[in-house]
Amino acid sequence: MSARHFVSYRFLKLDPAWRRLDEETRQEHKAEFLAACNDIGVDHLLQAFSLVGIRGDADMMLSLEVENLERIHEFGVVLNQSGLMQWCDVPYSYLGMRKGSEYSDEERHVPRPFRGKYVFVYPFVKTRAWYTMDPRERWRIMQGHIEKAREWPMVDNHTSYSFGLDDQEFVVAFDTDDPGAFMDLVHGLRPTEASAYTERDTPSFTCIRMSVERALAALDGDAVVVGDHA
Task: Write the CATH number for 12.
Answer: 3.30.70.1030
How many structural domains comprise the chain? 1
**Which pLDDT score, from 0 to 100, does residue 4 have?**
84
Report residue 66: phi and psi, to 5°.
-140, 170
- Please give the single-letter amino acid code of residue 13: K
Least trusted range by pLDDT, from 96-100, 117-121, 173-177: 96-100
Average pLDDT in the chain: 93
The CB-based long-range contact list for 31-37 (8 Å cut-off, 24+ gap) reads: 32/81, 32/82, 32/83, 32/84, 33/79, 33/82, 33/83, 33/84, 33/85, 33/212, 33/216, 34/212, 34/213, 34/216, 35/82, 36/75, 36/78, 36/79, 36/81, 36/82, 37/62, 37/79, 37/212
Q: Does residue 227 lie in a domain region?
A: no
The average pLDDT across 70-77 equals: 97
Residue 1 maps to a domain? no
* pLDDT classification of 102: cutoffs 50, 70, 90: confident
Give the pLDDT score at 1. Answer: 41
Instruction: Name every residue whose Cβ is closer than 8 Å to that of residue 59 and which is 6 or more positions away in sequence.
Output: 12, 13, 14, 50, 51, 52, 218, 219
CA distance linking residue 166 with residue 171, whole number of Å = 10
Please check whether residue 229 lies inside any domain of the structure.
no
The answer to whether 41 and 149 have CB atoms below 8 angstroms apart is no
Contact 7, 160 (CB under 8 A): yes
Tell me if 9 sits within 8 A of 46, measured CB to CB: no
Residue 227: predicted pLDDT: 47
* CA 12 vs CA 59, 66, 68, 130: distances in Å: 6, 20, 22, 33
**24: helix, strand or coil:** helix
**pLDDT, mean of residues 179-203:** 97
Q: Is residue 109's pLDDT more than 60?
A: no
Domain containing residue 24: 6-220
- CA 211, chain centre distance (Å): 15
Q: How far apart are CA 41 and CA 27, in angstroms?
A: 20
Please tell me the predicted confidence (pLDDT) of residue 108: 56
pLDDT of residue 226: 44
Instruction: Check if the beta carbon of residue 48 is closer than 8 Å to that of residue 64.
Output: no
Residue 76, in any domain of the structure:
yes
Residue 67 included in any domain? yes
The reply to whether 226 falls in a domain is no
pLDDT given for residue 104 in this prediction: 67
